[in-house]
Amino acid sequence: QVLVTMAPRYAAATAAILAATLAGVASFAPQHSAFAPKTVSTHNHNHNFNKNNHNDLFGTAKSAFFQSNDAVSASSDTALWAATLDGAATQTVEDYVKARGGNRVIKKVLIANNGMAATKSILSMRQWAYMEFGDERAIQFVAMATPEDLKANAEFIRLADSFVEVPGGKNLNNYANVDVICKVAQEQGVDAVWPGWGHASENPKLPNTLDELGIKFIGPTGPVMSVLGDKIAANILAQTAKVPSIPWSGSYGGPDDGPLEANLNAEGTIPDEIFEKATCRNVEEAVEAAKRVGYENGIMIKASEGGGGKGIRFVDNEADLRNAYVQVTNEVVGSPIFIMQLCKNARHIEVQIVGDQHGNAVALNGRDCSTQRRFQKIFEEGPPAIVPKDTFHEMELAAQRLTQSIGYQGAGTVEYLYNADTNSYFFLELNPRLQVEHPVTEGITGVNLPATQLQVAMGIPLYEIPQVRQLYDKPDTYGTEKIDFLAERYRDIDSHVIAARITAENPDEGFKPTSGSIERIKFQSTPNVWGYFSVGANGGIHEFADSQFGHLFAKGPNREQARKALVLALKEMEVRGNIRNSVEYLVKLLETEDFKNNAIDTSWLDGLIREKAVAVEMPSHLVVVSAAIFKAFEHVKTATEEVKESFRKGQVSTGGIPGINSFNTEVAYLDTKYSFHVERISPDVYRFALGGNKIDVEVTQTAEGALLATFGGETHRIFGMDEPLGLRLSLDGNTILMPTIFDPSELRTDVTGKVVRYLQDNGAPVEAGQPYVEVEAMKMIMPLKATESGKISHNLSPGTVIGAGDLLATLELKDPSKVKKIDNFDGMLDIPEAAVDIAPTSAVTNVLSGFNLDPEAVAQKALDAVSDADAAAELLIKSINEFYRVESLFDGQIKDDVVRTLTKGNADNLDVVIAENLAHQKLAMRSQLILAMIRQVDTFKDRFGSDVPDEVITALDSLTQLKGKDYGEIILAAEEKVRNAKVPSFDVRRADLRSKLTDSDTDLVELSRSSTLSAGVDLLTNLLDDEDESVRASAMETFVRRVYRTYSVPKLNVETLDGRLSCSFEFEFADVPKADRVTRNGFFSVIEDAGKFAQELPVILNAYGSKLSGDASKDGPINVLQIGAISGDSDIADLENALAANQAKLNMLGIRTVTVLITKGSKDPTYYTFPQCDGFKEDPLRRGMRPTFHHLLELGRLGENYNLERIPAVGRNVQIYVGTEKTVKRNAAQVVFVRGVTHTPGLVTFSGARRALLQGLDELERAQSNSKVTLQSSSRIYLHSLPELTGATPEEIANNFYDVVDKLKSRLAQRLLKLRVDEIEAKVRVTSTDEDGNPMVVPVRLVASSMEGEWLKSAAYIERPD
């Protein structure tokens, strides 16, 4: 990514050079060396380099730091052209140095650093080289690489032209080892060494030794570095120059016991005796100095050679000081230590300075670095908006005078503490090096700082460096006239940059460093934000590296716009690997009101961390379910691979296959354990059950490995990694550590590093929360605290290398009873239960594949979802064929032989072997699905109005070829349907029925009672307009007798009245003794056109009246009227209006109900019922019902007690209602009523009862998908058997019923419970005689009910109708 540009037209060129840089680098000829050099090329050299990861790291070559937003393609055919400023000719490095007044040509540079520093320096100097010379290779870069950096796929190694492998481990072995650096520099023949920051960058020995070797050090000279690089010496110099200083250990011992002052000696250093007065050589001297400084504001213990947050501690009492002193000395070994008072409410303000070899010093504005934790910067921004311009200019001039007076060369930073309330500032220190946040300055000034360092090292005066001249608005960018940097001021800064450090630290644990691999960094540059990273994909952060691995820079016209741009960039960023990072925490910090209002100081962030005021909170149950999802997904992968591996070894066991789809998983979070049972209900849908919770989750894995999980009506992005201490979960960009439940007596480390020292003796007591050991991690010394109280036993020795999860010590617990306990969760999860939408046909496929779904429900929904008979037939055929295909592999075969054959034939795709075995192992569930589908063959006519296609029968016939006893029920069901499903066509059935009606031997009474007529009842209405009058009459008589078959019909007469076929009849209840029966009258008349109902009705009523004698209404409305229309149609409103116009006549005739039926050709007729009790308004609950259905289903009694709403049913003789009790005013429980009649005898036998009950359960199953049915509704089934039973007493029927119910409960318990069936009623009719010997019917009501507490308790009653 481009770091800085110099003119609008060079954006394209800059992008082009970076495209070439990132695409690959030229080879570098190897040289003889004790450290064998390596050439960096597109090959990995067995060091796991990733040459194609630059797009992931840097995004597009487009940046806020372009002065133009020209979009550039980074393709291979991009032409590289020499972009120069103001027409300057393309030239060599030698020409450039000579033309710009320099005295040394540098063309080969050793980068004596790693990580961020090395990466940024190469990128910056490469960009400058191309912009000046048209050749990004004008300067060659040699990198030093440790084995750890090579293993971590460090980005800087890929960017360099060559690298030399150096010893690993601590930086004292490599990047901080002056001897190693100088040896490599000499043997590689470099012209200069760039030290970067940290490591050896502030060691005066390095420039001194290089100078002796004739190699240029890109930075200040040794003596100057010695003075200014040492914080103690720098403060003494500042005091000598009368720069305000904070009280510190050097504030005493000078003239009149005042601040120490010193003049430089001949070697250019502070006299030792004065230096020693400011130094605390041991802890006692530190305690004494702290007493003089005072603890009131707090004390800082600082290592003079420290930096970057290392070698610095804050204390406010003597006891902590003594402990912290040891930590600082261990963290920066050998460094002098000094004491300084904490400056409260202070801002950390920096001035960026550069000095040259000619006595010039320029201030390139500065930065505000006040957002710090443990004195390590988090955000840096520039310019420092909090400081008034005039005050900041004074700070710049003071920094220039200080550095100029001692001949400082190179880039450096003068740091101040600034109090905004008093507008006062105090000298803090001078860093004689470039700092990691220097791109902030580059962004606001346009000056490429690493390139400026290089030019200063070449001896070029500052005023001849083109970018510096641009900053000072010099018209001649390549001019040579001098600039008085102390007198002249650079142009106004018109932008703001905020930087965020991306670190491998855990913000939940006080920013504790972490180390480990990094799989991927997802970051996309925008026109306002860019970033660079020290690691690539499949890289990592090792324990000897700095914790920072990335830096983002956001630019805007003002601070607020820059802040918003940075927030958006961080929200889109994703770091994946086994490290923690601070990205989501940074977003929270940027969105605090204090940061927005720039109302912060150096203690602000530490205060937030201490109080845990800023935290990335995620709902605990969302975290738990997400963790369970990740664990379940990983379980499936692992279990699948284990089975495959066993197959590869020639093993034939399939015992591990069921565990792929059905298993348990546990999640522990916030002292609670959640034990889930998981069922896969499709390849990508998991069902999690926990107590009363049921959550369906659809899981998709993205190309980069993240899981997209949809549940509770939302989609979440999940990534996890199992670590020694638990599961680290990334949920929607937020990181959560879910610790493994350990023994509380075990003290384990959560960092990688080494043990420095134990803080208590073996066997000594330690309290919970008290530090018990100090460890070194990522070059930091940090204490680890005990989680419980007790006597400690050390498990390791100081110096032992440790990894996360290692046991450091054990405790003999002080009070085991007080140890925090883990509770099992038994409540309701705060996750909405939102079902995953699985397409019905997909659900069928899933069941047939062995995934755990309810097969009965799946069958119902699948057939409900199809639109026509063809689609239904296709579904049935595919399902049956798939079932047969799998089972034919195993039928009659030895399972082990089948597995061997499948494995051999699918060696390259063992998933097939698993899939076939999984399906077969779920034979019972798959059989239920096929049986449910076979039963639906009977509903074809009712559903689609057409016959079952022959192809379905052929598929069913294939099932009869199976031999195994496990297939017995399916074979029987298929054979029955093959025999019975070939129902003749409508025309054939009509002709057959007509033939029966014309046959003189046909007994119409017996025909009306025949069970074979069940499918032809409505067919009779199609013969009411037959050309043969006798057929018409017989059809009408049979229809009436069939509809009223449960009644006694003593009188019936069919005739033609006024050209209309009519039937007058009398009927009585057959279950009442003859002496008590009330005779009721019925009249059925047929008209040609339903549209003429209104004009025909008065005539029909007159004809009806002529058939009645006496007062027809004396017994109340007990008579019925039916009117059939051969053709046409009529609105219900028109029918109601016609009835209303004749209501008086209807009442006079004592008519209880009027039923209108309209024939529909080959389709079933439509029925409309108009009851007198509703004022002859149509009753929607009875629509489509034959005249007596309402009574047979006992809907009158049901309607008295419940508010009913009818929902669709499949069976012609079945109705379904949703009801709530009328007596309950609020929150009435819902009941689903399935009520049907059957003309088939045998309801009291087990097979007949099972068949009827299964049909009822199928209807219930279908009803569950209706939106009007709640999940809490109960269900009741009522079946009325119309055929009269003979040869058995009610007692015998009851006893048989008890046995049948027990068997049904055993066989169908799971389904009955699932559908919440709490009552089953069957009404049967037993032939008998009354007291006078007259035939009558005795109704026997058989009930299995849960109303009294016992589940489906059986009872039987003889009814005595009133």
Catalytically active residues are 433
| Helix (H) / strand (E) containing 1009 | helix 1004-1009
Strand, helix or coil for residue 179: helix
Q: Give 815: exposed, middle or buried? Use CB within 10 Å, 0-12, 13-18, 19+.
A: exposed
The residue with tokens 């990534």 is 719
Is-contact 594 604, C-beta < 8 A? yes
Cα angle, residue 1184 at apex, residues 1178 and 1185 outer, rounded to 5°? 90
Q: Cα–Cα distance between 41 and 63 in angstroms, integer?
A: 27
Phi/psi region, residue 178 (left: phi>0; alpha: psi -120 to 50; beta: rest), is alpha
Is-contact 252 239, C-beta < 8 A? no
Q: Cα–Cα distance between 289 and 299 in angstroms, integer?
A: 10
The amino acid that residue 35 corresponds to is: F
Q: Cα–Cα distance between 1045 and 107 in angstroms, integer?
A: 111
Is-contact 587 581, C-beta < 8 A? no
Taking CA atoms, 987 is separated from 817, 870, 949, 1022, 1251, in Å, by 85, 21, 16, 11, 29
Choose among 907, 846, 915, 862: nearest CA to 886.
915
Is-contact 672 822, C-beta < 8 A? yes
The amino acid that residue 464 corresponds to is: E
Strand, helix or coil for residue 546: coil
Is-contact 590 567, C-beta < 8 A? yes
Is-contact 869 944, C-beta < 8 A? yes
Q: Cα–Cα distance between 531 and 240 in angstroms, integer?
A: 41
1132-1146: buried (b, 16+ CB within 10 Å) or exposed (e) per residue?
eeebbebbeebeebb
Cis peptide before 383 (omega within 30 of 0): yes
| Number of Cα atoms under 13 Å in the Cβ half of residue 1082 | 28
Is-contact 124 448, C-beta < 8 A? yes
Is-contact 875 882, C-beta < 8 A? no
φ, ψ for residue 1210 (rounded to 5)? Answer: -90, -50
Strand bridging mode 1080-1089 / 1119-1127: parallel
φ, ψ for residue 490 (rounded to 5)? Answer: -75, 170
Taking CA atoms, 1286 is separated from 187, 1290, 1324, in Å, by 115, 10, 11
Chain centroid to Cα 1179, Å, comes to 51
